[in-house]
Amino acid sequence: MNTKFAKIFEPITFPNGVTLDSRFAMGPMVIVGSEKGGAIGQDDLTYWHRHNNSASLLITGATAVSEYSDAYGNGLGLYKDDQVEGWKELAKVMKAEGNRAVVQLFHAGYRSSFTYKDKGVAYSASTKTYSFLDYPVTGLTEAQIEEVLNDFAAAAKRAIDAGFDGVEIHGANRYLIHQFFSVVSNERTDKWGGSLENRARFALEVVKRVKAVIKEHAKPDFLLGYRISPEEIHRHGDGFTFDEALYLIDEVATLGVDYINTSQSGPRSFAATPKAGNYQGQAINKVIKERLAGRALLLGAGDLTSPDKILEAVTDYVDVAATATMVLLDPDTKEKIYQGREDEVTLEVKEDRLADLCLPKLFYSIAPLIVTSQFVPQITKDLLYKKPE
Ligand SMILES: Cc1cc2nc3c(=O)[nH]c(=O)nc-3n(C[C@H](O)[C@H](O)[C@H](O)COP(=O)(O)O)c2cc1C
């Protein structure tokens, strides 16, 4: 190894005592390899067999906790007991090289476009229409909120039963938990909306329910993570500031999680600064890390698209790098850096390398939506966007 990269391979320990042997995590990525309805598919297993040594901590793509959370058609689901058998297989495949495997749990809320197609309804915090959606959105009743909270708890229990090492609650990327926190999507006037405390209530209640299940059913080394978008300041409206997200992070850390995972995108977004609020000019990840003060580790993503950026991230901004696009397109990134072959790490995918990535046959259908990094070469994008024959 080039000693310059030694920091990436320094072990690090979560508050619950679990130690990773590197600062490399594989960030959550939807790959649409599952059966319709969310059961683990052969494509999921094949993909993870190829990617199971990409990082010391491997996080699955967003996994539906409810049948009303279908955002991708062939995404992962863990909302029925009969899905657990397939997840046991996936756990075995993901853990085969000795790395830790975590399930990212989500409810897609208003982004459940496939649920709308199937069932004629897509739920969110409030009833509303959006210019960017071609279907209406229905606000959850109090009783339905209780059901969704139970869904998160039940899915966490299934992840434990399937043999996973942890769960990550997906509170980011404009899915349901995020929708409750944002004033753009949460217009409720009951205890679940309005003040900052009320908008944070749903997120915190999910954490509490999942923690209760872990306490009762999992071993002490089971990991709990929480993913958050640090701010929502964009063209569809200002849903929450970084200052408000920091409040939520603080509350989540006080309840007790092993890590916070920040979701940011765009060039050098791992080092991004807030667009508004009290911390302008300071790096979001640095402020969060300071606020956590060791209560939880900080994972971060966002343009970790070269060995140097990964090194910079773990040196200056986060505890663990949650690399996504890089390890999707070069599953050997970590091994190459470890072996001093960092020059061979590549985002370029040509026809001859595509099969080796073991991407699901439907991957092309989501690739244009999410492979946005400007550092991904056009030749790679052209290939990934193409429907396989
Ligand atoms: C194909 C793909 C699928 C993704 N799916 C998810 C997901 O299921 N859950 C999530 O929290 N983020 C998801 N993301 C976002 C990544 O985890 C990550 O935050 C983002 O890509 C920025 O990191 P990067 O520049 O290293 O790719 C996805 C990204 C990609 C490229």
Residues 168 and 225: their CA atoms lie apart, in Å, by 4
pLDDT above 80 (res 370): no
Give me ligand 1 centre to Cα 34, in Å.
17
Whole-number Å distance between alpha carbons of 274 and 243: 9
Distances (CA, A) of 143 to 82, 146, 149, 360: 25, 5, 10, 37
Condensed to tens digits (0 to 9), the pLDDT of residues 324-340 reads 999 999 999 999 999 99
* Digit-coded pLDDT (tens) for 233-269: 887 789 999 999 999 999 999 999 999 999 998 999 9
Measured CA angle at 271 (ends 265, 272), to 5 deg: 60
Asked if residue 167 lies in contact with residue 210, where contact means CB atoms within 8 angstroms, the answer is: yes
Which pLDDT does position 237 carry in this prediction? 80
Q: List 300's β-bridge partners, or say none.
A: 262, 321
Angle, vertex CA 203, rays to CA 197 and CA 206, nearest 5: 130
Q: Which atom of ligand 1 is nearest to the CA of 373?
A: 25
Distance from residue 128's CA to the centre of ligand 1 (Å): 27
Which atom of ligand 1 lies closest to the CA of 170?
A: 11
Residue 326 CB–ligand 1 contact under 6 Å = yes
Q: How far apart are CA 21 and CA 36, in angstroms?
A: 36
> Is the CB of residue 225 less than 8 Å from the CB of residue 299?
yes
* Residue 112: partners with Cβ closer than 8 Å, 6 or more residues away: 68, 69, 70, 71, 122, 123
- Ligand 1 atom with the smallest distance to the CA of 323 is 26
Q: Which of 175, 226, 247, 317 is catalytic?
A: 175
What percent of the chain clears pLDDT 70, i.e. is strictly above it? 99
Q: What is the DSSP string of 144-181?
A: HHHHHHHHHHHHHHHHHHTT-SEEEEEE-TTSHHHHHH
Contacts with 294 (C-beta within 8 Å, 6 or more apart), sequence order? 15
What pLDDT is attached to residue 368?
Answer: 82
Residue 161 makes CB contacts below 8 A (sequence gap 6+) with 84, 217
Q: Alpha-carbon distance 328 to 47, whole Å?
A: 10
Q: State which ligand 1 atom lies nearest to the alpha carbon of 366.
A: 1
Measure 271 CA to ligand 1 centroid, in angstroms: 17
Whole-number Å distance between alpha carbons of 284 and 270: 8
385 included as an active-site residue? no
* 372 — pLDDT class (breaks 50, 70, 90): low
* Closest ligand 1 atom, residue 62 Cα: 8
Given this model, what pLDDT does residue 88 score?
98
Q: Whose CA is nearest to atom 25 of ligand 1?
A: 303
Please give the pLDDT value at position 371. Answer: 66
Q: Ligand 1 in contact with 302 (CB < 6 A)?
A: yes
Question: Which of 24, 26, 30 has most ligand 1 atoms within 8 Å of its beta carbon, as the pocket-test mutant?
Answer: 30
Provide the pLDDT confidence category of residue 374 given band limits of 50, 70 and 90: confident
Q: What is the pLDDT of residues 173-204, one digit of tens each?
A: 999 999 999 999 999 999 999 999 999 999 99
* 28 ligand 1 Cβ < 6 A: yes
Q: Please check the confidence at residue 293 and state whether its pLDDT lies above 80.
A: yes
- pLDDT at res. 373: 74
Residue-level pLDDT at 387: 86
For residue 251, what is the DSSP state?
H
57-90 pLDDT, tens per residue?
Answer: 999 999 999 999 999 999 999 999 999 999 999 9
CB of 29 within 6 A of ligand 1: the answer is: yes
The rounded distance, in Å, linking the Cα atoms of 311 and 5 is: 6
Cβ of 170 closer than 6 Å to ligand 1, yes or no, is yes
Q: Is 299 in the pocket of ligand 1 (CB under 6 A)?
A: no
Helices (runs of H) and strands (runs of E) counted in the chain: 14, 15
Residue 215 has a pLDDT of 98
Ligand 1 center from residue 126 Cα (angstroms): 26
- Structure confidence at residue 213 as a pLDDT band (50, 70, 90): very high
Res 236: pLDDT: 78
* Ligand 1 neighbour 325 (Cβ under 6 A): yes
Which stretch, 226-235, 242-251, 364-373, has highest mean pLDDT? 242-251
Q: Is 345 in the pocket of ligand 1 (CB under 6 A)?
A: no
Residue 335 CA to ligand 1 centre (angstroms) = 21
For ligand 1, say whether the CB of 255 is within 6 Å of any of its atoms.
Answer: no
Residue 19: band (very low, low, confident or very high) from pLDDT cuts 50, 70, 90: very high
Q: Residues, the chain, total?
A: 389
Atom of ligand 1 nearest to the CA of 301: 23
Nearest to 324 by CA among 144, 62, 85: 62
**Cα(24) to centroid of ligand 1, in Å?**
15
What pTM was computed for the model? 0.98
Contact assessment for residue 26 and residue 58, using Cβ atoms and an 8 Å cutoff: yes
- The Å distance, Cα 118 to ligand 1 centre, comes to 26
pLDDT at 319: 98
Place of tokens 């056009």: 378
What is the residue-averaged pLDDT of the chain? 96
Question: Which whole-number Å values give the CA distances from 331 to 50, 101, 309, 347, in the listed order?
Answer: 7, 16, 17, 10
Tens of pLDDT, residues 110-164: 999 999 999 999 999 999 999 999 999 999 999 999 999 999 999 999 999 999 9
- Give yes or no for residue 265 CB within 6 A of ligand 1: yes
Distance (Å) from CA 26 to ligand 1 centroid? 10
